[in-house]
Structure 1
Amino acid sequence: MMPLRPYTFGDPHIDKATSEHVRFPMTDGQQVIAGRIGIAVIRARFGGSDPDPDPMTLFLHHRRPIEDATSAKFDRTGAPDNLIEVYAEDFEEP
């Protein structure tokens, strides 16, 4: 399986269906795979001391480790329904 990489023809956005996730496009070279991470996970992992950080700003500042965790999960599980949901436990501990 090829690792996922960012898909440059789409932008990350707040998931309109849930309002509680950031969706972002990635590709395995053949198809576009949707990544999705909960805003609560982004804030808990990357929010620091700000009590209400903007989720898109946090996502954009920490995009690389989020995409790396998504690619690693894709390698482990594939992408049923072309969607990979990233959870806190999908990040390797520093």
Structure 2
Amino acid sequence: MPLTRYLDGGAHILPADESLIRFAMTNGERVIGIDVPIPVLHQHFGGADLAPLDLFARNQAAIEAAASAAYDTTATPNDLLDMGPEDFRTPPGAATL
């Protein structure tokens, strides 16, 4: 089941691990928390001069599309999806939500 943007709450850097951005999406029934490492975003999208949340905002549609694709193939028994470099195989700009 594809994920869609969850409109309540925004992306934020986790206080417990400042190398992760957490954001939420929904499968229509449940809210799914998604953690994506900031270094992975820089590796895939560039933007070394951008603050992490600005980089996320600039590439949000592509990140959400990658999260939705990863959700379809990854078990999330606790409604938390951990993304990694393997989830960003599509070239930047090629994915849209």
TM-score w.r.t. the length of structure 2 is 0.86
In structure 2, stretches of 5+ residues that fail to align are 92-97
Aligned-residue offset at 1:93: 3.2
Number of positions where the alignment pairs a residue of Structure 1 with one of Structure 2: 91
Aligned-residue offset at 1:47: 1.8
Aligned-residue offset at 1:16: 1.3
In structure 1, stretches of 5+ residues that fail to align are none
Deviation string, structure 1 residues 9-40 (Cα, Å, up to 9, x no partner): 11100011101100001000111100110011
- Aligned 8 A contact 1:43 1:53 in 2: no
Corresponding position of 2:58: 61
Aligned-residue offset at 1:44: 1.1
Q: Which structure's residues are more often helix, by fraction?
A: 1
- Aligned 8 A contact 1:22 1:36 in 2: yes
Moved over 3 A (4+): none
TM-score w.r.t. the length of structure 1 is 0.88
Aligned-pair identity in percent equals: 41
In 2, Cα distance between equivalents of 1:28 and 1:84:
12
Aligned-residue offset at 1:74: 0.7
Corresponding position of 2:71: 74
Aligned-residue offset at 1:91: 1.4
Corresponding position of 1:37: 36
